Chains A and B, each alone.
Chain A
């Protein structure tokens, strides 16, 4: 049971970081391999504020969301926007270039070492239920992940902004004709996705660690969540992230000999049978 719980907590983290990618990839059709960069920025903002400035952990979180979101806006305006119509390959190369730049920059400023993080007392420790050890921080992650998932689903399905976003994605020209400022919608969406990645990065320092290689190390995980979950599908990403989290933790626990082999195999099999992802809509 503990393994399942840890897996779920890990999955929630993956979900928090990947959901932004799911939005850019699925709704805006941009293959953004640099998504992990925003998570890394959030993580570094969190540890720097915490360790160097003595800001309490929870108080760093808003900054860890805002800074990547702002960075997202700047990059979207300057660079990403020009490539919305480009081929997947151009987008892959462009975002891979951003990853390289970000990794080297993080190396330059923070060195190659893992950043230490001291959790506040009320978030560390664990309590015991029969058959289940619950880490308090992991419980916190699960709750935070669920909250974000519900909020996002509500925002996309129920609010006017969500409606505008879906309209802009389904048919840009008609949406423009209806007076929707598509550029603004895309920019805000991109900022939201980057901010969420930052949130996931900051909350993930404790479990995933934080070093300059972060965007490369976890890139595959984010991509798996999005492709398996079906792009542009928030609940799909949630289920896929949980599935991946549990499979990864359980696989590494029960059959450490083959390590990450299991999740790659699962991904390939799923993509062969359902190229559009488990919960994705078929392409139209």
Chain B
């Protein structure tokens, strides 16, 4: 699998503010790569650099084998972008906005109509965009971004402001596009979104890559300790788990989540709790989520930078 996008030690600053600092990541062709990070992590800057709309201060960027700053026109003709807050000419209708995009990207009106139908916005094309809801805008933005059948799709917070149903629909459409061989790079700070669709997650913070890989591999790498959820009718007894042999750490969240050094310790722990009077209602090994992973990485990073 070749690389659709490659960032190598890319840095970008705006005056005193460092947006990216030695950012490295690769988005393989035909995959969904999720850039995951808090606000200000540098995700939007990454998208803008990928299209050549901005110039990096340092580092090497390749998109479809091209250098965006040198071959910007070709890169932008082969890439589709959905910005974080999709904006349109409000007084124009949805169709007029799509026609404008079709002309610029040298796509046919048929392609514009097909894109609108694919994203279920064809019914509203005669309306002025000023009257569109957030969901309709997002759908129109997605239609506009794929009007020229791009090889790479850069989506910057595509579900921002959407209700859960619309978010799910958008994510399904994104997965569908990836299934057709398109390379998707999606920026988000919503962990549950990344979880469902990502082939690769790039965890970003302060403009740099903290980790990259498939969510499962990252979990294995950073969350090697098995976690078990305990709950009981008499929850106070669960506090006795702290300090027992094999318990690495414990987190209370109504129920109790316990990280063990070895899952084989579990039968003994259960026996000890029951012997201690615990009336257990739940004992469940927990699959680490991306959220767990994200916070674990943040925790480790804080430990690294704080002596």
A binds B: no
Interface residues of B (CB under 8 A from A): none
Interface residues of A (CB under 8 A from B): none
